[in-house]
Amino acid sequence: MHPLVNIAVGAARSAGNLIMRHYDRVDELRVQTKQRNDFVTEVDRSAEARIIEHIHRANPNHAILGEESGASGSDEVRWIIDPLDGTTNFLHGFPQFAVSIGIEVRGKLEHGVVYNPYTQELYTASRGAGASLDGRRIRVSRASSLDGALLGTGFPFRDDQDIDAYVALFKDVMANTAGVRRAGAAALDLAFVAAGRLDGFWEQGLKPWDMAAGIVLVREAGGMVGDMAGRGDPMNTGNIVAGNPKVYEALGGKIMRHLRKR
């Protein structure tokens, strides 16, 4: 395992331990609303602080992009951190949330770690070295088309997102697949694509910390990741489609046809 991944794993597990200590007493937490349907708790902030402390203990000059603390530093190595992806799930006792840590080196995504503290499942990946779940190599599914595929997605929840356009696409996708799941934690959805539990995934309006680690996982598990419009980098646009190569192509084509109608 790469030394930076070792650090990320230690940081993710430490943050996960902190998160789980509060899981059965979320009613005691202070909760703030960042925007409609977007929440932050003292656990999010404490978990991120713990991750950054863990990183800087080993590499004090490395740059950080954290969901809660923002950007700091200017080193060629940048850690992209979501300390608790799926905060709404966490607050409701719904066990679908994760710590997500992606690592860029000279502007390229190189490593990713996604850790579900509830199940203690640990996903890791490094560019060129493959992806693993609890130390076992994982690969994307072998689904050959959307027919019979199981997909993941995220519903638009902000006022500036076009819910009607999304619903039209959702209906079209539903009619051509075995089903669509909306679990509420993009980092885990992408990890599930990497592990073959989902055949594909799409969502709009994400942030870099939602996707960074998951993108590395999917690519290193033999999958494909791109922007929903077929151009640009989802890390910049926030709109992502991912899947095994055949599902990625089919799902991306369907999304493109809907975009052209708008």
**Domain spanning 3-137: CATH superfamily:** Fructose-1,6-Bisphosphatase, subunit A, domain 1 (3.30.540.10)
- On whether the pTM is more than 0.85, the answer is yes
Cα 91 to the center of its chain, rounded Å: 18
The answer to whether the CB of 200 falls within 8 A of the CB of 247 is yes
Report pLDDT for 75: 96
Is the domain spanning 150-261 CATH 3.40.190.80? The answer is: yes
The answer to whether the CB of 225 falls within 8 A of the CB of 198 is no
The answer to whether the CB of 255 falls within 8 A of the CB of 228 is yes
The answer to whether the CB of 252 falls within 8 A of the CB of 227 is no
Task: Give tens-digit pLDDT for 8-42.
Answer: 999 999 999 999 998 887 766 666 555 443 445 78
Report pLDDT for 211: 98
**Beta strand pairing call for 200-203 and 224-227:** unpaired
Report pLDDT for 260: 65
Residue positions in the annotated binding site?
Answer: 67, 82, 84-85, 210
| The residue to which tokens 């430490």 are assigned | 14
The answer to whether the CB of 67 falls within 8 A of the CB of 209 is yes
Report pLDDT for 214: 98
The answer to whether the CB of 185 falls within 8 A of the CB of 214 is no
Residue positions in the annotated binding site for Mg(2+)?
Answer: 67, 82, 84-85, 210
Report pLDDT for 161: 58
Report pLDDT for 38: 42
Domain ranges (residues) in the chain: 3-137, 150-261
Please identify every stretch of the chain with a pLDDT value under 70, giving residue numbers as ranges. 27-40, 157-162, 260-262
